[in-house]
Structure 1
């Protein structure tokens, strides 16, 4: 499955600094790998994506945000994920998606469920 992502997250420049890559190279690395939803948790519809290249493993933020908008795409340690609803969170935000990640009227309700293969597709 392709997940459309606009890579304009507030932490993208910091992530690029942490991994010692220019921002375009971080985006290229994120869009060139196939990720897999390993498990769900934190909030309904939040899938923990594994398969990030080692060089993109970044720590959680030192101070979590009290409000992360729905659709925010973030990185934390070996995981990537997209917030299905507004919530607090401590991941490094690199972008956002307009995909509806959780809808109780859909079957299944979660767009990203364990075993799903995901590729980020850059949208501008």
Structure 2
């Protein structure tokens, strides 16, 4: 049975965290939990994260033990919510000024640059959650052979569209900002448009396929 923890975020939100593996099966359980909790009285929004769930409430909760118990009971049912999401294909330029750490990743993984690119672009990646910054997608599906540590010294600023890897995750930044991941490429894609009815381009359960457009040594 997975260990869980409930904590407050401000006065009208709670964070439910689950100590479980980072994989699609367990994330589908998070999605099921998200869907069920969204129907509860007093819940304004139910937001899935990476192996966690945030509930935004319309009131200050008076019985945290009950909320935690209800969430634990739901989690322990093992129910999964499978999503047949849309597929987005993204053209990528690997290496060059937009992918300054490609050679380092190849060295850390004991591969050639071509092998890194082939392996990275071989899988379809599932959007587990959207967050960190507006429109950013936390993706599952990175080949374990591409696992790398975070950088000891983060970069102060990377442009939007930067493709990076760290641990068992990969993703394309939705906007400019700092990063402690290893950046191996770049893409021209807009993940967030506040003027659209659905501002975020992708939702949990959608998929991304990276297409190598160009490789710059």
Which category describes the TM-score, using the shorter chain as reference length?
over 0.9
Is structure 2 residue 116 aligned with structure 1 residue 29? no
1:76 matched to which residue of 2?
A: 166
Determine the structure 2 residue equivalent to 1:114.
204
- 1:97 equivalent in structure 2: 187
**Gaps spanning 5+ residues in structure 2: where?**
1-87
1:51 counterpart (135, 138, 141): 141
- Residue 105 of structure 2: SS of its match in structure 1? helix
- TM-score, scaled to structure 1: 0.95
Structure 1 unmatched ranges of 5 or more: none
Q: Which has the larger radius of gyration?
A: 2
Stretches (4+) displaced over 2 A? none
How many angstroms apart in 2 are the aligned matches of 1:11 and 1:88? 15
In 1, distance between residues paired with 2:168 and 2:202? 17
Structure 1 residue 111, shift from structure 2 partner = 2.0
Larger RCO: 1 or 2 (CA < 8 Å, sep 6+):
1
Q: How many residues align?
A: 124
How many angstroms apart in 2 are the aligned matches of 1:112 and 1:23? 29
Query: Larger % of helix: which?
Result: 2
Deviations 1:70-104 (A, max 9, x none): 10000011111111111111110010000112111
* C-alpha distance after superposition, 1:95-120 (max 9, x if no partner): 00001121112342222321111110
Do structure 1's residue 4 and structure 2's residue 91 form an aligned pair?
A: yes
State the distance in 2 between where 1:3 and 1:100 align. Answer: 11
- Length-normalised TM-score, structure 2: 0.55
Matched residues in 1 for 2:191 and 2:213: separation?
A: 17
